Structure 1
Amino acid sequence: MSKDKTYRYIEPVQIRFNDIDGQQHVNNGIYQQYYDIGRAGYLTQISGTEYQTGGKSIVVASVQTDFLQPIFLHDKVQVETRVSKIGNKSITMEQRITAIDSGEVKSTCTTIFVGFNYDEQSSIKIPEDLRSMINAYEKGR
């Protein structure tokens, strides 16, 4: 279990046989799927339901992933997620994959989201409902 209480949202991830590559560890392309699970879970947690993705919402503008330690088939890992910054038009989400038993950080990921109007296909300010939900949730850490 993570000892860093600033990551309030924690999602265990089941490693599947198909996630493993020829070097017998989780393929680098799979890590982003794990981070997607954490992102979706975080948004569901803060909103109480699946967060609306159409209309006025957010889209991913940038993803930076660092691979620190390999993950193997029988490892028990979790994705920890937090929002570290909310700007006028962007949100910075920080995530990491950690070993459940030791807390060892296996990988880190920083994602930048931008506000987006799907109907007009243009960037917008971060929707106030989302900003409020994130602020309320992150205040509790």
Structure 2
Amino acid sequence: MNKPAPALRNAYRHFLPITTRWMDNDVYGHVNNVVYYSYFDTVVNEYLIRAGVLDVEHGETIGLVVETQCNYFSPLVFPEPVEAGLRVARLGGSSVRYEVGLFRAGEAQPAAQGHFVHVYVDRATRKPITLPDALRAALLPLVVALAE
């Protein structure tokens, strides 16, 4: 399997500083791989909440993860700060492909990059719905054109 080339910092549209925690490190002395996915969740949901398009307690629409993937290029460690870059690679009818790069403070190349595909569903029925207009409008500034 070929590892993709890392996307540089300027390929992302939104950034969130994340403070690593002591508990993020594993016995090998670096941030454990499962924690990277927590950082992915954090930058996506922070953006949506601040944009006013995600109400985690009462919203009628929620996003369910149907696919996720991460490539690791270099280890992150506690107590270094992380900057999570976010972009949207695909904005579909009921789904979104969020792409995330995790960067050491100020570095151009990510320590890791990956993606989540969320399918948006009705909270009660769990059936896919068309992306609400407000959600689509909030995501448009994050959309990037990717080479095929």
After TM superposition, is the score higher than 0.5? yes
Deviation, structure 1 residue 74? 3.2
Letter aligned with residue 138 of structure 2? M
Deviation, structure 1 residue 3? 6.5
Letter aligned with residue 138 of structure 1? L
With the length of structure 2 as denominator, give the TM-score of the two structures: 0.80
Letter aligned with residue 104 of structure 1? Q
Unmatched tracts of structure 2, length 5 or more: 1-6, 144-148
Deviation, structure 1 residue 50? 6.3
**Over the residues paired in the alignment, what is the CA RMSD in angstroms?**
2.2
1:1-141 → structure 2 map (5 Å cutoff): 4-45=9-50, 47=51, 49=52, 51-53=54-56, 54-135=59-140, 137-138=141-142
Unmatched tracts of structure 1, length 5 or more: none
Letter aligned with residue 126 of structure 1? L
Deviation, structure 1 residue 57? 3.5
Please identify runs of 4+ aligned residues in structure 1 that moved more than 3 A.
2-6
Identity of aligned residues (%): 22
With the length of structure 1 as denominator, give the TM-score of the two structures: 0.84
Deviation, structure 1 residue 108? 0.8
Aligned residues between the structures: 136
